């Protein structure tokens, strides 16, 4: 696993919540493609990480699902619950603060 993927795994649930906040409902494959497109292929979510994360968020009551038959196969759409919306705001804000601090640390000028 490269460092990009390790960072991605740690913040996967926040990414999912953020994407679902932007778009009302999404399915697994769509999420992987959206991440790939938004990061110009720099980041890729593997199925092995995505689906357990989706199932966990669903079990926590943050996501709700709806299955629809599309082109002869069942497609499971995920969307945020009311709690999911609240949690998304909180987790995105937490990650934002963490990234800001990380940015400060990484751009630290050496003491003279």
Partner 1 sequence: MLTPHHLTLLRQDLRTLAHIEYQEVENELLDHYAMLTEQKMETGQVFEYASANAWKELGEGIGLQQIQEEFIKNIRKQISSRHLEILKSYFRWPTVIGTLFICGLVYQLSTVLGPKTIYIVTQFLFLSPGLILIYALVRKEHRHTDTRKLAWQYMNSRANIPTAFLQFNNMLPFFLNNEDKPTPFLLMHPSISTGLACVLLIYTLTFMELYRENFSYKTAH
From the CB of 44, what's the least distance to partner 1, in Å?
A: 10
Helices 28-38 + 47-59 axis angle, to 10: 120
Measure the CA–CA gap between 38 and 48, rounded to whole angstroms: 20
Interaction pattern, residues 5-44, with partner 1; x per rule: CB under 8 A: ----------------------xxx---------------
Residue 14's Cα: distance from chain center in Å? Answer: 5
Q: Does 67 bind partner 1 (CB under 8 A)?
A: yes
From the CB of 88, what's the least distance to partner 1, in Å?
A: 20
């Amino acid at each position: 696993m490269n460092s990009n993927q390790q960072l991605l795994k740690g913040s996967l649930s926040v990414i999912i919540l953020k994407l679902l906040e932007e778009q009302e409902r999404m399915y697994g494959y769509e999420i992987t493609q959206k991440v790939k497109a938004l990061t110009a292929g720099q980041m890729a979510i593997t199925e092995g990480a995505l689906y357990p994360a989706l199932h966990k968020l669903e079990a926590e009551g943050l996501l709700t699902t709806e299955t629809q038959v599309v082109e002869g196969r069942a497609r499971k759409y995920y969307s945020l619950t009311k709690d999911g919306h609240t949690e998304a705001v909180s987790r995105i804000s937490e990650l934002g603060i963490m990234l800001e601090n990380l940015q400060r640390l990484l751009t630290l000028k050496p003491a003279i």
